[in-house]
Amino acid sequence: MSAEAVEKRSFGIAAAEEESAALIEQDVARGLENFAYTPDHVAGPGADIDPTQITFPGCACIKTPCHPGTCSCLRHENNYDDNLCLRDIGLEAKYAKPVFECNVLCHCGEHCRNRVVQNGLQFCLQVFQTDKKGWGLQTLEPIPKGRFVCEYAGEILGFSEVQRRIHLQTTHDPNYIIAIREHIYNGQVMETFVDPTYIGNIGRFLNHSCEPNLLMIPVRIDSMVPKLALFAARDILPGEELSYDYSGRFLNQISSKDKERIDHEQLRKPQLRKPCYCGAPSCATFLPYDSSLYCPLGKPDTS
């Protein structure tokens, strides 16, 4: 995420969330990255559901481990393998599948294999300043493919508030707002808007890449408000910058019709496009652009 005129310094993020918050409070950016740290989503203006409320019932797995078919949290298959790696990840996967984890109301213990994202950071990460992209996030230790890395947490917003904040941005301001759209059934789409600009976690420092090493998956634990969990899409070496595809298309199939529409949207308002500095061989030159967030206030873009 871009943040110009910041001093070239870095700071580490330990595996424990408490240690992470303490390190961030050192304010190595000297006030230029002014935000409140939170490890989880918080309700923002226009949010329909408070993300801190527990609305999912727990499973009744007491004497036996949680298994598909018997555990109400695992409808079809296990989410993770014995090494806590997300299953069905990589180029062989056709699309990102939603994940439901056990929660605090479940009768299974804290060592249940279906509890991964809720356990927080497990790897030592470091925020650093890149040459052209402002702040970035890198790992200080190897991360196996499929392991959970971090969340993208922030304020859960309503669409009107998203538009209001977008229209207040200048062309030099970084945009942290992300829109997650999940296709459920009968053509219905569930939208979740997250903004870590003012309240967020280390996920806000992740940069875009056209060939990312992270994959974002909606993970639900306590309610229908998803945690935006980032998993390693491949084995990641120490010192590598962590990145994901801002468009959400990475490892998700896209029809030729949708691709044509997206390409058209990206050409409509070139003044809003920002250059991409990911350096990947397949770099698209510009960062992904979501026209629905930039349409006139109160009028969704249906073109």
| The token pair that represents 207 in the structure block | 């940069």
Task: Check pLDDT > 50 for residue 24.
Answer: no
Mean pLDDT, rounded, for 221-247: 95
| The token pair that represents 102 in the structure block | 């056990």
pLDDT on residue 260: 57
Give residue 247's pLDDT band: very low, low, confident or very high (50, 70, 90): confident
Mean pLDDT, rounded, for 153-175: 90
pLDDT on residue 88: 77
Going from the C-alpha of 228 to that of each of 42, 100, 221, the distances in angstroms are 13, 12, 11
Mean pLDDT, rounded, for 185-209: 92
Average pLDDT, the chain: 81
pLDDT on residue 257: 54
The model's pTM:
0.83
- Lowest pLDDT segment from 61-65, 132-136, 182-186, 232-236: 182-186
Mean pLDDT, rounded, for 121-143: 94
pLDDT one-digit tens code per residue, 37-51: 999 999 999 999 999
**Contacts of the segment 59-66: beta carbons below 8 A, 24+ positions apart:** 59/102, 59/106, 59/107, 59/108, 60/107, 61/102, 61/106, 61/107, 61/108, 61/112, 62/107, 62/108, 65/108, 65/112, 65/113, 66/102, 66/106, 66/108, 66/112, 66/113, 66/114
Mean pLDDT, rounded, for 108-122: 94
- Lowest pLDDT segment from 79-88, 227-236, 244-253, 256-265: 256-265
pLDDT on residue 172: 79
